[in-house]
Amino acid sequence: MSADVIDGKEFSLRVRNKVAEGVAKLKKDYGVKPGLAVVLVGEDPASQVYVRSKGKQTVEAGMNSYEHTLDATTSESDLLKLISKLNEDPDVHGILVQLPLPGHLNEDLVINSIAPQKDVDGFHISNVGMLGTGQKSMVPCTPLGCLMMLRDYHGSLSGLDAVVIGRSNIVGKPMAQLLLGDSCTVTIAHSRTKDLKDVVKRADIVVAAVGRAEMVPGDWIKEGATVIDVGINRIDKPEGGTRLVGDVDYDSCSAVAGAVTPVPGGVGPMTIACLLANTLTAACRANNVEEPVGLTA
């Protein structure tokens, strides 16, 4: 058996089109153009690439993109002043501070200074708490993208056994909350989990968010399970050069699984699509306008 491929590239295009439709309607019916402010501190090359790509896709969806690039030596108080200004700006509906920040800046303090309703990354402690208590919140983009793909593939997730490998605040924990919200029976595994193979083997849904290249082999996967691979790892090719792989061993897993997301082209493209979705959601909420269905949890 060969697993269905859950095509994140194609699905993210559908999400972005839906966002663009929602943006056009918001502009036409209410005169509101959603705006996303992205703050980048320093010159980390990978972050620069992400920020450029976010800005481009924001504009393509019909929204305003405001990029704020600050020097790596920017003080915490200057960064907080900028965030405070963006919090007050009615044209800015979403604020994203690109992580990681340079070492002298306190990430928790900075993230928690963003107005929760503009926190399109969903990392503010209020949004974390609201997600955990089943209240309407801004939901972290990567797990939101995984949830959208799972719902699209399965319809209802109710009663399914889900194992999330990884317990980070950015992916693992919010992913587990979202699956719980959809009535899965959820296990969170991590580096201290005993008998990880047995834990994973009983899952109908496996979400791997570890950061270890091809760590999950096919013989850990229950036949017919759905495997969502969040990992992005660059490895050397035998013939020279490098390539991207996920946290699951794609070939052996897809021989057993019912469905699997590839790397690249799976979860990755969904993350920015969900950032755009969150910006539209934030703009709708700020203007007491009904949110488009299917763009949030």
Q: How far is the CB of 59 from ligand NDP (least distance, A)?
A: 20
* Angle of the 172-181 helix axis to the 125-132 helix axis, nearest 10: 30
Say whether the peptide bond before residue 264 is cis (omega within 30 degrees of 0). Answer: yes
Tell me the CA distances in angstroms from 142 to 57, 81, 85, 194, 283, one per residue in order.
16, 28, 27, 26, 20
Residue that the structure tokens 């089109």 belong to:
17
Decide whether 112 or 187 has the Cβ nearer to ligand NDP.
Answer: 187
**Nearest distance, CB of residue 208 and ligand NDP, angstroms:** 8
Question: Around 233, how many Cα atoms within 13 Å sit in the side-chain half-sphere?
Answer: 20
Comparing CB distances to ligand NDP, the nearer of 48 and 233 is: 233
Is 198 among the catalytic positions?
no
Q: What are phi and psi of 241, to 5 degrees?
A: 80, -175
Helices and strands in the chain, H and E counts: 10, 11
CA Rg, the chain, in Å?
19
Return the number of the residue (87 or 106) whose C-beta is nearest ligand NDP: 106
The answer to whether residues 183 and 140 touch, using CB atoms and an 8 Å cutoff, is no
> Least distance in Å: CB of 207 to ligand NDP?
10
Shortest Cβ distance from residue 67 to ligand NDP (Å)? 20
The single residue of 119, 121, 182, 249 carrying the catalytic annotation is 121
First vs last C-alpha separation in the chain: 32
- Supply the minimum distance, in Å, between the C-beta of residue 172 and ligand NDP: 5
**Active-site annotation holds for 98:** yes
Among residues 18, 54, 173, 222, the one annotated as catalytic is 54
Q: How far is the CB of 52 from ligand NDP (least distance, A)?
A: 16
Binding footprint of ligand NDP on the chain (CB under 6 A) = 142, 165-168, 170-172, 189-193, 196, 209-212, 230-233, 267-268, 271
Q: Which is nearer to ligand NDP, 82 or 128 (CB)?
A: 128
Residue nearest to ligand NDP (CB): 168
User: How many CB atoms sit inside 10 A of residue 245's CB?
Assistant: 19
Residue 237: exposed, middle, or buried by beta-carbon count in 10 A (0-12, 13-18, 19+)? exposed
Nearer Cβ to ligand NDP, position 57 or 74? 57
Which tokens is 143 given? 């797990």
Residues designated catalytic: 54, 98, 121
